[in-house]
Amino acid sequence: MASILRPLSASISSSSSFALCRPLLRSAYLAAAPSATRLISTSSLFSLHGKEEKKKKVRPRGFNFPLLVRDFVQEGLYGKGGYFSTAELIFKSEPLDFTGMLGETEYKRELAKLYRESDVGWTTPVEIFKPWYGRAIANYITSSAEDEDIVIYEIGGGRGRLLIDTVEYLRQHAPHRLSRLDYNIIDISTAMINDVKAKIEADMKGRVTLHNLSALEWKKREDRKCFVVALEVLSNFPSDKIVVTNNEVEEVHVEFSSDDGLIERRWPLRDNKLKYALDAASFVEYTKRGGGGGLSSLLSRVMGASAGAEGYIPTNIVQLFAILKSKFPNSKVIFPDFDRFQSPCTGYCAPVVQLKKGGKTQMFSSYLAAASKVCDVMFPLDFPAICEAYSNVTGKEGQVVTTEDFMLKYGELDNTMTLSGYNPLIDDYENTKFLLS
């Protein structure tokens, strides 16, 4: 799914770039007993519903505790009644006239006005900069596909904006290739799928296929050359939380107590998917030093050597890469996303957790607010590590480029430039990058 769009500004919690080494699988098995319990007061997290529970805590609906953090966030975002269960989250508006705006101040005023008037949770660059953002993606695809069939799998298609812009771009620049387009949208949201279904034009029927499921549930093998696209979607793939203590990695689970509410409990590292993700980008390498067990890791550099350092690991993103390897062996990826956010949450690649209502944004200091099922939870991407994981899992070379560099090459920037020369497509979203292959 796409995510709340937040321009880069001061005081940003950042996931830095690091020199990465090749992965070595050194799984460590510890005693099967929890090492620590952390009680989190949930009253403030649920005060957005209007009341605080002062006695027994109310068990959040739909959560089968205990849960790994990724499964907890997954339920809050995509479960029944979850944040992404409605298509009304994406605002509807006419294209903005950037060329008629005086400059940055007017652009931000118009954007704020859209949010106030539409009272929705989020939007994305492909919606704000329609049709120009989508046309840049289409230009890249048609250039890369040369004279071959154009096969696209879009993960989290939203309201179908990229589909619409791609079709219009082909009609204008390569009409002979329109008949060779095979466009697939994979979306877990039934509401989004139904919204796109209503927009498919008669002449596109048979060339657009909608798949109402999670990309992580994909089973069919696609042997054709194709493009897998996810526009600001990976940041909404739930991550796992880990804690590094005494030179060992522990995984965090969320539990519920009627007395204490939501509880974070740390266990020895045992989840196989999390281990796989940790290894995929050299997040953790176990080495023996002087006959004893030692931890030599990216995390020790990122999170510091202090006991109890916390971080969020993109387990589900790495699982997606494994699916790309097995089910889309001839695919190329186009994954633009955010590499940092403003957020009160702490830790390596800590999420931003926020609720938008009435044109205002309320931010939370913990992912546990996802239990309310009304908050967006987004995890910034450490692009060098993500690229390393992609290459190691799929065996293909990935590359990271800035949004500015991508748009300078494939965009039509005259159409998003204001009268002052300020261009929000490249000037306002410096916290975004592309993973390409």
pLDDT at 404: 97
* Residue 423 to residue 35: CA distance in whole angstroms: 51
Q: What is the DSSP letter of 95?
A: P
Express each pLDDT in 273-282 by its tens digit: 999 999 898 7
* Residue 260 to residue 23: CA distance in whole angstroms: 40
pLDDT at 86: 64
From the candidate CATH numbers 3.40.1350, 3.30.1710, 2.40.160, 3.40.50, the one assigned to the domain spanning 87-237+328-338+385-428? 3.40.50
pLDDT at 222: 99
DSSP, collapsed to helix, strand or coil, labels residue 105 as helix
Express each pLDDT in 95-108 by its tens digit: 999 999 999 999 99
Scanning the structure block, which residue is given the tokens 């944040």? 83
pLDDT at 131: 97
pLDDT at 358: 67
pLDDT at 56: 76
The dihedral through the CA atoms of 305, 311, 316, 320 has a sign that is: negative
pLDDT at 344: 94
pLDDT at 349: 94
Q: Amino acid identity, residue 236?
A: N
Q: Exposed, middle or buried: residue 186 (CB in 10 Å: 0-12, 13-18, 19+)?
A: buried
* Residue 147 to residue 63: CA distance in whole angstroms: 49
pLDDT at 70: 98
pLDDT at 35: 56
* Residue 267 to residue 365: CA distance in whole angstroms: 23
* Neighbour count for residue 168 (Cβ, 10 Å): 14
Per-residue pLDDT of the chain (437 residues; tens, 9 = 90+): 443 333 333 233 333 332 222 222 222 223 344 555 554 444 445 444 444 445 678 888 889 899 999 999 999 999 998 988 864 656 667 899 999 999 999 999 998 888 777 656 567 899 999 999 999 999 999 999 987 899 999 999 988 999 999 999 999 999 999 999 999 999 999 888 998 998 888 778 889 999 999 999 999 999 999 999 999 999 999 999 999 887 788 999 999 988 889 999 999 999 999 999 998 987 654 333 333 334 445 555 555 555 578 999 999 999 999 999 999 999 999 999 999 998 999 999 999 999 877 667 889 999 999 999 989 999 999 999 999 999 999 999 999 999 999 999 999 999 999 999 999 999 998 899 999 99
pTM of the model: 0.85
b/e map of 325-335 (b: 16 or more CB within 10 Å)? eebbbebbbbb
Q: Let me know: does 91 contact 105? Beta carbons within 8 Å.
A: no
Residues contacting residue 237 through CB under 8 Å, at least 6 positions apart: 314, 316, 317, 320, 379
The dihedral through the CA atoms of 13, 122, 406, 234 has a sign that is: positive
pLDDT at 304: 57
- H helix count then E strand count, the chain: 12, 20
pLDDT at 246: 77
Q: Let me know: does 381 contact 339? Beta carbons within 8 Å.
A: yes
Q: What is the torsion angle, in degrees rounded to the nearest 10, for the CA atoms of residue 23, residue 26, residue 29 and residue 34?
A: -30
CATH 3.40.50 intervals, the chain:
87-237+328-338+385-428
Q: Which two tokens stand for residue 230?
A: 């996810």
84's torsion region: left (phi>0), alpha (psi -120 to 50) or beta? alpha
* Residue 382 to residue 386: CA distance in whole angstroms: 6
Residue 39, beta-bridge partner list: 263
pLDDT at 78: 93
Nearest alpha carbon to residue 285 among 29, 31, 30, 21: 21
Q: Let me know: does 343 contact 361? Beta carbons within 8 Å.
A: no
